[in-house]
Amino acid sequence: MQDIKKYVDQHKDRFIDELIELLKVPSISADSAYKQDVLNTAEAVKTRLEEAGCDLVEVCETKGYPIVYGEKIIDKNLPTVLVYGHYDVQPPDPLDLWNSPPFEPVIKKTDLHPEGAIFARGACDDKGQMYMHVKALELMTKTDQLPCNVKFMIEGEEEVGSESLGDFLKENREKLSNDVILISDTGMIAKDVPSITTGLRGLSYVEVEVTGPNRDLHSGLYGGAVANPINVLSKMIASLHDENNHITIPGFYDKVENLSAEERAEMAKAPFSLENYKKALDIDAVYGEAGYSTNERNSIRPTLDVNGIWGGYIGEGAKTVIASKAYAKISMRLVPNQDWEEITQLFKKHFESIAPEGVKVLVKPHHGGQGYVTPITSVGYQAASKAYADTFGKTPIPQRSGGSIPIVSLFEQELKSKTILMGFGLDSDAIHSPNEHFGVWNYLKGIETIPLFYKYFTELSK
Ligand code: BES
Ligand code: MN
Ligand code: MN
């Protein structure tokens, strides 16, 4: 423990500089204009893994972006930890809302990060959190305290649905065999309230297109006499929630796992201030499904949200027009037992059925994935809990997160292993938003905590 702290202290400036170098490359998987940058990032991750002590590192081709695989096998009879992370990032848009360019990392102090935070796209999600594991490996190899085997699988398509990962798992079961999967791609409650994520929501993402007349029309000559696709789409979307903010798609809630009163009471013990929550977002009230608390609404309950909506004239000034088409992108966050493909079909059937005469509706499914819950009794959870207790001086709280990492349920299905989600980000770190950042304190705390996970996991596995 003392060793670990000392090593982190001695090398922290370099740890930060190396992360900053990685953050300079715009590895935006959603935008093909950045293809070369995404590929270059895969190569950079390979080099870093080799430097950190992996004996074998490969950049594995897939139909999409490559998966970087690395390993250090010290003894076949010892347990194996498989680390997963992603080197791709979300698009930085809207650019004008960034206080400094998204791919020119800067360190600035904030109220929550008086020690400074690194501002850049991917700082927290997930380059910063992924790189903690690379530096933890360096620390363990350089100080001669790697207690077990380690494998890395760092992908480049997480932000666009991990399309190539399913095949990769099926084709590489042997290579990826492990005793536990370790991921830092989530958050924790607060710097003084460590938590381990025990649940993730599933996701169904669809795009809808409503077509009215075969061309854009003069809104005076035709207005009132034909269906306006934007009016219609707005009405259809509005009808997807009732007055209690329940989702109206028939069958949507059929398989939703209902938590017992005891479990809900347990959840409610996590420290949370509604006042601070509202203040941080500058809203005067929260909004959501009747009968559930804010923390329940964003973790154990499913949702339906419009992520984007467009059509018609949005340029300067006014144009009197009835557009031929209107569009929206819609995401549904799902909870355990809801099957994302089934929900996608239920959505499609319902959305088509509520279209009025005079328009055509097209529902295009995008990606999706299943939710996940993991017990706090597993060896992995216990090891993580002990590791946090050592570095934070407090036993971490189990927490269900509202975000999605669809591959976690795939891991369980294909590799039969449990995933431990050791996240070190804060909700206020603005992942996917302008001015994403990652606290230097959080980054270094992660590097300090991870080696202890390896230690306890190896001890408890005996
Ligand atoms: N790291 C996030 C997921 C996350 C963040 C989970 C914080 C829990 C807490 C991941 O990179 C992500 O953004 N996932 C997407 C889904 C994916 C299929 C595009 C998401 O949750 O929107
Ligand atoms: Mn992520
Ligand atoms: Mn993300």
E runs forming strands in 130-248: 149-155, 180-183, 195-200, 202-211, 217-218
- Please report whether residue 174 resides in a domain: yes
Out of 346, 369, 392, a domain closes at 369
Distance (Å) from CA 64 to ligand 2 centroid:
18
Entry pTM:
0.93
Distance (Å) from CA 90 to ligand 2 centroid:
9
Residues 350-369 have a mean pLDDT of 96
pLDDT given for residue 328 in this prediction: 98
Atom of ligand 1 nearest to the CA of 205: 18
Measured from the Cβ of residue 100, the count of other Cβ atoms closer than 10 Å reads: 12
Residues 224-239 have a mean pLDDT of 98
Whether 195 and 220 map to the same domain: the answer is no
Whether 107 and 217 map to the same domain: the answer is no
Whether 348 and 359 map to the same domain: the answer is yes
Whether 158 and 208 map to the same domain: the answer is no
Residues 447-461 have a mean pLDDT of 98
pLDDT given for residue 330 in this prediction: 98
Question: How many Cα atoms are found within 13 Å in the side-chain-facing hemisphere of 89?
Answer: 33
Closest CA to 77 of 462, 381, 380: 462
2: pLDDT strictly greater than 80? no
Whether 29 and 54 map to the same domain: the answer is yes
User: Ligand 1: which of 90, 158, 198 to mutate, judged by most atoms within 8 Å of the beta carbon?
Assistant: 158
Out of 321, 345, 369, a domain closes at 369
391: pLDDT strictly greater than 80? yes
- Please report whether residue 422 resides in a domain: yes
User: Ligand 1: which of 405, 427, 431 to mutate, judged by most atoms within 8 Å of the beta carbon?
Assistant: 405
- Please report whether residue 187 resides in a domain: yes
- Please report whether residue 275 resides in a domain: no
Whether 312 and 440 map to the same domain: the answer is no
- Please report whether residue 268 resides in a domain: no
Whether 377 and 429 map to the same domain: the answer is yes
445: pLDDT strictly greater than 90? yes
Tokens of 157: 């398509």
CA 3 to chain centre: 32
Q: How far is CA 424 from CA 298, 392, 443, in A?
A: 19, 12, 7
For residue 129, what pLDDT band results from cuts at 50, 70 and 90? very high
82: pLDDT strictly greater than 90? yes
Whether 106 and 247 map to the same domain: the answer is no
91: pLDDT strictly greater than 90? yes
Whether 104 and 155 map to the same domain: the answer is yes
pLDDT given for residue 35 in this prediction: 98
pLDDT digits (tens, 9 = 90+) for 24-33: 999 999 999 9
- Please report whether residue 236 resides in a domain: yes
Question: How many Cα atoms are found within 13 Å in the side-chain-facing hemisphere of 215?
Answer: 2
152: pLDDT strictly greater than 70? yes
Whether 76 and 207 map to the same domain: the answer is no
The CATH number of the domain where 353 resides is what? 3.30.70.360
> 123: which residues sit within 8 A by CB, 6+ positions away?
19, 23, 105, 117, 429, 436, 437, 438
Number of domains into which the chain is organized: 2
H or E stretch including 169?
helix 165-171
Whether 154 and 247 map to the same domain: the answer is no
Closest CA to 302 of 260, 259, 256: 256
Whether 19 and 72 map to the same domain: the answer is yes
pLDDT given for residue 98 in this prediction: 98
Out of 338, 369, 400, a domain closes at 369
36: pLDDT strictly greater than 70? yes
The CATH number of the domain where 163 resides is what? 3.40.630.10
For residue 1, what pLDDT band results from cuts at 50, 70 and 90? low
Report how far residue 135's alpha carbon sits from residue 404's, in angstroms, rounded to the nearest whole number: 25
- Enumerate residues lining ligand 1, CB below 6 A: 125-126, 158-159, 161, 185-187, 203, 367, 369, 401, 403-406
pLDDT digits (tens, 9 = 90+) for 211-228: 999 999 999 999 999 999
pLDDT given for residue 333 in this prediction: 98
- Please report whether residue 44 resides in a domain: yes
Percent of the chain that is helix, strand, coil (3-state, to 5): 35, 25, 40
365 lies in which domain range? 202-256+302-369
DSSP notation for 196-208: EEEEE-EEEEEEE
Q: Tell me how far apart the terminal alpha carbons of the chain are, to the nearest angstrom.
A: 21
pLDDT digits (tens, 9 = 90+) for 258-276: 989 998 998 899 899 999 9
On average, the pLDDT of the chain sits at 97
Report how far residue 151's alpha carbon sits from residue 36's, in angstroms, rounded to the nearest whole number: 26
